[in-house]
Structure formats: structure tokens, C-alpha cells
Amino acid sequence: MSSSPHSQDIESFCLKLPKIELHAHINSSVSEKTFRELLRKKDVGDGQLASVESSVFGPKETTFKAFDDCFDIFPLIHKVIDSPEAIYKVTSDVIAEFEADQVKYLELRTTPREELLTSMTRRSYVATVLSAIKDSKKKNLDIDVRLLLSIDRKSTVKIAWETVLMASELAADSDRIVIGIDFSGNPKINDAKDFIPVLAHAKSSGLKISVHLAEIVNPLESHQLVEIVPDRIGHGTYLHPEVGGLQESVEFVKKHKIPIECCISSNLRSLSVAKLKLHHFGYWYKQSHPVVLATDGKGVFQCSLSGEYILAAKAFQLSQEELWQLSEKSIDYIFADDKTKKKLKSQWAEIRNSKFQKTI
């Protein structure tokens, strides 16, 4: 079926639209091209190579068979991205790919990881990511890149404290690249309550925090996490009462105007949302609550930020002006300082006047 002229206009508009990406995990954002290049450097046979590649990058538009399946993919990716050289290449390529998709400001997130076989420590891992980000600036790419250090809930509270300490140190000594903490991981593992003191300390020490919550129906845990007043919420899929959440949580989020990072393709392909039109983006957007579209892991979930805008436009009948406003308002939800926000808003105004004056 061919797309309508209006549909084609929206797609073209979204591809050119300047965008903000605030929820992008580095390892799961690896492109198939980069992953294949890294995989071919491994000393494995063609059969094993093809098997790993097909496990990570199945046919486009396919979904996982169950929500847990996407978490089974990540260890496969980590086995390939297991050295400073590999993480440097992945980070560099991911930045360049987002820049090509008209992303002007990017917040990457990643869990500091150690690999015994390659002698990579958590600190050297983060140092390599920072090196790739700094080197990307030297290439004069039109993108501002920052970093959140992730706490994986399957790890220990001790490691969580170490991650916050590392983030605090780097926030003061990384050219303002490290700006916060992400709390993420398989929501079925461990009790998030154990990590709340760590997250609260991170917030009180001046770090911004983004917290994955309500990815599954768990209203008590979701509300406990909401009450620490995170600076942004990752997913929030089952936060509202129509899908098993608490109205109390909704009212709290609305009262504090906590922005919600909506990752449509990720939620559809991981089966946490059954249909596009049922995505919770619509619930919050219709209430004029702060929302930002994001990719989560553009490689694993085979998506792009332009594509997320196209999906939202088609599912919720958004006009070009509404899409522009959705993008521009995202600037208010970044973790960088007011000076950066002001610079981005000036950039948006300049782009609108020079490239979009006749279309919006």
C-alpha cells in the first residue's frame, strides 16, 4: 500500500526536524553495520558469526517473543563489545549516526562494565566512552553529547554507590559531559527499594537522575521510585491506573511535572505495549504533560528518532506544528545547564526560520 501525500509530507518533515535524544543506551544503540564489523574481528567461524548476528538483529519489524527476551540479547552484545577499542568505535559510530538523523543534543547512558578477558575495568570503560565523546567534538559534528552513568538493578548496591561516586567525580572533571545517573535493568530482578538511598544521594549531591520505572505492572515499586522525584522517568509504561498503575502516582508525577521518556518502538517490539495507538505517549500528551520521544536502543529495536516521531505523528494525528513543538519543548527536559538550553533554543529558532518557514 502506498503512503498518502500527507503521510509522505510528515515523514519528510520528521526526517529534517531537529531533535533531542534523551534515552539512548550505548550498547543497544549499536548499528548492525558496526556490530558486524566488530563481530568479524572475533575469532569465530562463519556459522557462529551468523548465529550471533541473527540473534541480535532479526528481520526488521519483528518483535521479541516475550518481554524478557530483549534482556537476553544484551549479554550477546557485551561479548562483542568487550574491549576499549570496541566501546570506542561503538560510541563514536552511535554519535555520528544520531547526528545524521538531525539529533542536535544527545544524552547517552551506559553501565560502567568490566571485562576480565580484556582487562577492561569499569573506570577504563567510562574513560573510553568519554574519550570517544570528546574526540567526536573535534570532528565538528553538529551535536552536543552528554553522558549518564547507569546503575543496573541486577548488580549490587555496593556497585551502585561506586557508580554514583564515579559520576560525582567525573561531573566535576569531564568538561560537563557526565551529568547524571540512570537507573535501569530488568525490572523483574531485585527490589528497586534497595537502591532508593543511592538514587536519593545522587540527586541531593547535584546529579540529575533518570529512573526506569513501571516497565511492568508493579504499582508499589513504581510509586516508591516516583516519590524520590526523579528528574525524568524512563518508560513509565504501566504508571497510570488504566494499565494497572496508581492514580496517586499519576497525580504525583503531574504535580512535579516529571518528564516521561517515551520509547515507542522499544515498547512495541519488547511487547510491553500491544498496539501503537495504545502507547502511553497518548495518555500523557493529551494532558499536556512533559513527554519526550526517544529510541532506547536504536540498534536492538531497529529504529531511529525520526522514525519515533513518524510513529507518534501517525498514531496520534500530530500536525507539523505539534511535532515541532514536541521537539522544541524537549530542550526544557535536558540535564545540561540553562546556558546549553538557551543555545539550543536559539539553534531551533534559526533552523525554523531558515529551513521550515514555508512548511509549518
Domains and CATH numbers, the chain: 20-350 (3.20.20.140)
115 is a catalytic site residue: no
* Residue 7, pLDDT score: 73
pTM: predicted TM-score of the whole model, two decimal places: 0.94
Q: What is the mean pLDDT of residues 92-106?
A: 99
* Residue 39, pLDDT score: 86
68 pLDDT more than 70: yes
- Ramachandran region, residue 109 (left: φ > 0; alpha: ψ -120 to 50; beta: rest): beta
String of DSSP letters for 291-359 = EEE--B-TTTTT--HHHHHHHHHHHHT--HHHHHHHHHHGGGG-SS-HHHHHHHHHHHHHHIIIIITTT
* Residue 1, pLDDT score: 35
Catalytic entry in 21, 97, 115, 215:
215
106 strand-pairing partners: 21, 145
Instruction: Give residue-wise pLDDT tens across range 269-301.
Output: 999 999 999 999 999 999 999 999 999 999 999
* Residue 5, pLDDT score: 45
